[in-house]
Amino acid sequence: MEPDLAYLVGALRDGSVYYDKSRNYKVIWYSKSRKWLSESVAQKASVVFKKSPRIDEYKTNQFRAVLSSREIFNRILNDFEFKAPQEEWKTPTKIRESFDAAVSMYIAGFFDAEGDVNPKKYTIGFSQKNKETLEFITEWLNKHAIETSRIFVADKKSGTLRFCITHKKNFKKFRELIKFEHPDKIMSFGLLLQQT
């Protein structure tokens, strides 16, 4: 599997794949960072799918990269077993069976979409409502010598689950293996490493 495609699938953890009543087939990535959508998601999509997504501000300071394509819609739906709501979208079989370079890029895309870096609390975290996806990531990270917390309920009302990573040795190993690209998270990660 192409690592860039794995990244885009991971980044769809904050995204939509749907067919609307106007017969439009949409694949959408959401973010507060237009720069990340332009420089990471759109560039990778242009290479992988040979089609550039449209980036727009659909709410104040909320951006999306939109691909309108029946072929790409079907590819995500069929090849990566996409389900809505996302609580039901498990880690795709193609990701589970892929080699480490692709899995690490999937996790990077997932992290750029649904991860966070908190220098004040000295943590890196992943949040998601689907427990299986978090279990897959923690198992892979643990297998690659990155210690994680247990998965816990971060928000009872929404049902959001979470796990964290702490300690400098884990942060460094995480950055070596997981080539995340979100500019705000890269900046916060630099501040995090300065805490020690």
For residue 11, tell me if it sits in a domain.
yes
For residue 90, tell me if it sits in a domain.
no
For residue 89, tell me if it sits in a domain.
no
Q: If pLDDT is split at 50, 70 and 90, which confidence band does 75 have?
A: very high
pLDDT at position 195 over 90:
no
Together in a domain, 149 and 175: yes
Q: If pLDDT is split at 50, 70 and 90, which confidence band does 23 have?
A: confident
Q: If pLDDT is split at 50, 70 and 90, which confidence band does 85 have?
A: confident
Report the mean per-residue pLDDT for the chain. 94
For residue 25, tell me if it sits in a domain.
yes
* Structural domains in the chain (count): 2
For residue 95, tell me if it sits in a domain.
no
Together in a domain, 38 and 76: yes
What are the DSSP calls for 103-124, one per residue?
HHHHHHHHHHHHEEEETTTTEE
The per-residue pLDDT for 72 is 95
d(CA 133, CA 14): 13
The sign of the dihedral angle between the CA atoms of 14, 9, 32, 196 is positive
For residue 92, tell me if it sits in a domain.
no
pLDDT tens, position by position, 86-139: 889 999 999 999 999 999 999 999 999 999 999 999 999 999 999 999 999 999
Together in a domain, 40 and 118: no
d(CA 60, CA 32): 9
The rounded percent of the chain whose pLDDT value lies above 70 is 99
The per-residue pLDDT for 196 is 60
Question: What is the span of the domain harbouring residue 131?
Answer: 100-193
For residue 55, tell me if it sits in a domain.
yes
For residue 94, tell me if it sits in a domain.
no
Q: Is the distance from CB of 113 to CB of 126 less than 8 angstroms?
A: no
The per-residue pLDDT for 86 is 84
The rounded percent of the chain whose pLDDT value lies above 90 is 88
Mark which of 18, 49, 84 sits at the end of a domain.
84
Together in a domain, 11 and 65: yes
Together in a domain, 12 and 75: yes
For residue 24, what is the domain's CATH number? 3.10.28.10
The per-residue pLDDT for 93 is 97
Together in a domain, 50 and 132: no
